[in-house]
Amino acid sequence: MRTAILELLKHNEGHYISGEELSHTLNVSRTAVWKHIRALKQDGYEIEAHPRLGYALRQNTDRLLPDEIKAHLTSRMLGQEIHYFPEVDSTNNEAKKLAANGCPEGTIVVAESQATGRGRLARGWFSPFGKGIWFSVVLRPPFGPMDAAKCTLMAAVGVNRAINRVTGVGCGIKWPNDILWNGRKVVGILTEMSAEMDAINYVVIGMGINANMKEFPSEIAATATSLALATGQTVSRVILLAEILAELENVYTLVQQAGFESVFAAWRQESITLGRQVRVQGFQRNFSGLAVDIDADGALLIKTAQGVERVLAGDVSIRYDNQ
C-alpha cells in the first residue's frame, strides 16, 4: 500500500493529489492514507500536505531504500533481495547471519549507518548516517577457499569501475583492494567467508564507500576523502550503488566464465600500486622494493635488491615511499 501511494505521488511529482483521490483510488481510509504519508516522510520523502489540495511529492528520498535501489537496478542476481536498516552494527555481520541461514546468492544488506562498522583486521570504519554507502553482498562462489583472496581483488575492480563511470573521478586501486582518489581512501572492502577446506559456503563482501561526507574524524582526516569532496558535487548513492552491483556482477560472471586472470588484467590497469616504490611491514621483517606485478594467487610481487618477494594479503601493510 505504501509503495502504491508512493507510486501515485511519483507519477504526479510536483502536483497535488487529494487525500480523497488517494483513498478512493486505492480503496483505503483517509486515515490509512495519512498514516502511510507520515511513514513515507519518515523514510525521507519530502511530501507537502495542503489542507485543501492534498499531497505532493516535492523531493524524492535520499535514503537507500529497497524500492529506490530496485528502480535503478540492472543486475540480474545482485540486489534482488535487499535488507535495509537505518542503523545496524555492521552490514557484514547481518549478511553473515543471513548467509548462514541460507539466503539466496546476491542478497545485499544496506544501512544508513553502522554502529560498529568494521574494516580489515578488526579496525573500525567511520559510517555516519546517510553519508556513505555501507553495504554487503552475499556470494556463493564455486571456488575453493584458496581462491577467496582473489575475490577481494575482483571486488575492487568492480567498484572502482562503477565509481569512475558514475562520478567521472579518476580513482585507482591500492593493493589489495582499497580505492583511492588523489592518494586518499574513498572505499574500503572487507571480505569474509565461511568455508570448508574443500569449498566455500559463502563469501560476504562488505564495502564502505565514502560518498557524501564533507569532513572526517581527526584520526583519518589526512588519509580519507569522499566522492563529494573529489567531485565537488553530491553523489546519488542510489545510482552509484546500482552501478556497483551491476559492475560487481559483471566481474563475478567473467571470473566464473574465464577465470580470475581475466579480471586481474583490469586490476593491473587500474592499480596505483604497480610501478611504485613500496615499503612492506611484515610480521617478522620489513623491506622495500618496486611493486612489479600480482601473481596468479593475487599476491603482490616486489622487486628488491635480493630478488622478487611475494606478499600475500594479511602478511603485511604497505606504505608508499612518497607518502
Burial profile 97-107: b = 16 or more Cβ within 10 angstroms, e = fewer: ebbeeebebbb
Q: Which is nearer to a copy of itself, 289 or 298 (CB)?
A: 298
* Cα separation, 318 vs 238, whole angstroms: 33
Q: Exposed, middle or buried: residue 242 (CB in 10 Å: 0-12, 13-18, 19+)?
A: buried
Q: Considering only residues 54, 176, 188, 208, which one is a binding residue for a copy of itself as defined by CB under 8 A?
A: 176
Other beta carbons within 10 Å of 119: 16
Q: Which is nearer to a copy of itself, 81 or 315 (CB)?
A: 315
Q: Is 90 annotated as a binding-site member?
A: yes
* Residue 315 interacting with a copy of itself (CB under 8 A): yes
* Residue 151 interacting with a copy of itself (CB under 8 A): yes
Backbone angles phi, psi at 262, to 5 degrees: -65, -30
* Residue 42 interacting with a copy of itself (CB under 8 A): no
Instruction: Look up residue 69 and give its DSSP letter.
Output: H
* Cα separation, 228 vs 231, whole angstroms: 5
Instruction: Look up residue 183 and give its DSSP letter.
Output: T
Q: Is 182 annotated as a binding-site member?
A: no
* Cα separation, 59 vs 44, whole angstroms: 9
Q: Is 92 annotated as a binding-site member?
A: yes
* Cα separation, 95 vs 103, whole angstroms: 9
Q: Is 185 annotated as a binding-site member?
A: yes
Q: Considering only residues 121, 218, 284, 285, which one is a binding residue for a copy of itself as defined by CB under 8 A?
A: 121
* Residue 191 interacting with a copy of itself (CB under 8 A): yes
* Residue 194 interacting with a copy of itself (CB under 8 A): yes
Asked if 282 and 288 touch (Cβ cutoff 8 Å), the reply is no
> Nearest approach, Cβ of 131 to a copy of itself (angstroms)?
25
> Nearest approach, Cβ of 197 to a copy of itself (angstroms)?
5
Provide the pairing of β-strand 82-88 with 108-114. Answer: parallel
* Residue 71 interacting with a copy of itself (CB under 8 A): no
Q: Which is nearer to a copy of itself, 197 or 305 (CB)?
A: 197
Instruction: Tell me which H or E stretch contains 204.
Output: strand 200-209
Q: Is 285 annotated as a binding-site member?
A: no
* Cα separation, 94 vs 309, whole angstroms: 38
* Residue 196 interacting with a copy of itself (CB under 8 A): yes
- Identity (one letter) of the amino acid at 67? D
* Residue 159 interacting with a copy of itself (CB under 8 A): no
Q: Considering only residues 14, 104, 144, 275, which one is a binding residue for a copy of itself as defined by CB under 8 A?
A: 144
* Residue 114 interacting with a copy of itself (CB under 8 A): no
Residues of the binding site? 90-92, 114, 118-120, 185
Residues of the binding site for biotin? 90-92, 114, 118-120, 185
Which residues bind to a copy of itself, rule: CB under 8 A? 120-121, 144-146, 148-149, 151-152, 176, 190-199, 201, 297, 312-315
